[in-house]
Structure 1
Amino acid sequence: MIYASYSSDLVKYNGHIEQVSIGNKLKITGPVKAAKVISPVDKDSVDCRILTMGVYPELSEKNDIWVLIRPTDDRYYPQSDHTNTSYKRDGEWQVVTRFGGDKGEAYDLIIYESDATASSFFSATIAKWKEEDNYPGLKLEEIPSGAKEVDRIKIYTSKNCRGVF
């Protein structure tokens, strides 16, 4: 019965399960004073899809955390999973981050704390890009004023990720 359901399309299933890797992790000691990336670490080489993780102080509970990547084209690409904003809970956050460049390409991985207006802008931008199947990136001046940079690291792709997505 189950086989018949799958083979006849009566049951819908996710044909593509995204696999993500986890990079090296920074050890944090003492109280957290600002949102910070703990994985991957600065100057790390990463796979095409990674789980970017970090920490945030209690005072940042009301702001959303967004990861933006800036490859060599000097454009900014907000990253999201199904929730659009980074998942936050108990002082930790995470989001799936996707890279599309050549092996060894350098990226700035930038963390922003965003108010509701900036967060809505990033969500709407991603939705528009998905609908149009076109991801042109943002210029620095297009990033809303309600998004404040709080951390930045440099990372490199460990394999050719061009055309993966």
Structure 2
Amino acid sequence: MSTKIIIIIGVVLILIAILSGLKRSIISTKFGIPAGILGVLMLIYTSYSSDLVKYNRQIEQISIGNKLKVEGPVNITKVISPIDKDSVDCRILTMGVYPESNENDIWVLIRPTDDKYYPQSDHTNTSYKRDGEWQVVTRFGGDLGEAYDLIVYEADASASNFFSGTIEQWKQADSYPGLELEELPLGAKEVDRIKVYTRKNCRGVF
């Protein structure tokens, strides 16, 4: 059952409880009070599990992996943390650099062993860019030691809108099926790729 449906049911049960307390109500308080309690519990549950409530976002623990040292002028967009062949936690902050002349959006996609592509985002969807540096929260959901390709793309406006729209659709459906290679937009250009491994079992974390 999706979190949106749980929220709707919870609200309805609370309304039933309120109506049962009114004079001349056709709803018995013997039914209304348990319904209200159940509705409150359902809303509390969704507050811990749903993206609709920002509680999880506020306490989400993000780790930072090993980081490459960057010297001299930056001529290409690339990832500097984590580093290639690194072991990573379930949630990390992927960081990189880019030439300041680059006006395209930067996206990180991960490809686990199912060969599907999963665009990564935080509240802004696209990676945060400023003063030649970029970063984005990256989440892994696989088994201990599972290998992931972490791929960096520069995306034009059309490609960036595609990735943002895809994420929104997945969130609304509460399903994240991934993208096939042929589904990736033409306006997304791969600029860097590394391989990382999960250092713990992340399955079912999200």
TM-score (norm 2): 0.73
- Among 33, 37, 44, the alignment partner of 2:86 is 44
- 1:12-31 equivalences under 5 Å are 14-16=54-56, 17-31=59-73
TM-score, scaled relative to structure 1: 0.91
Once residues 14 and 118 of structure 1 are traced to their aligned partners in structure 2, the CA distance between those partners, rounded to angstroms, is: 27
| Cα distance, 1:15 vs structure 2 | 2.8
2:168 aligned to which of 122, 127, 130? 127
| Mapping 1:112-123, distance limit 5 Å | 112-123=153-164
1:77 is matched with which residue? 118
1:144 to 165, 181, 185: 185
- Partner in structure 2 of residue 91 of structure 1: 132
Structure (1 or 2) with the greater helix fraction:
2
Q: Helix, strand or coil: the match of 2:150?
A: strand
| Alignment equivalent of 2:100, drawn from 50, 55, 58 | 58
Q: Which has the larger radius of gyration?
A: 2
Unmatched 5+ stretches in structure 1: 1-8
Partner of 2:148: 107
Whole-Å Cα distance in 1 between the matches of residues 123 and 148 of structure 2?
Answer: 23
Match of 1:6 in 2: none
1:59: how far off? 1.8
Q: Give distance in 1, aligned partners of 2:129 and 2:154.
A: 12
Percent identical pairs in the alignment equals 79
1:34 corresponds to: 76
- Which shifted more, 29-38 or 145-154? 29-38
Aligned letter for 1:132? A
- CA displacement at 1:18 relative to structure 2: 1.1
Structure-2 residue corresponding to 1:3: none
Gaps in structure 2 of 5+ consecutive residues: 1-43, 48-52
1:2-21 to 2 correspondence within 5 Å? 14-16=54-56, 17-21=59-63
* Distance (whole Å) between structure 2 residues aligned to residue 118 and residue 133 of structure 1: 22
> What is the rounded CA distance, in whole Å, between the counterparts of 2:193 and 2:179 in structure 1?
17
Matches of 2:200 and 2:169 in 1, distance apart? 28
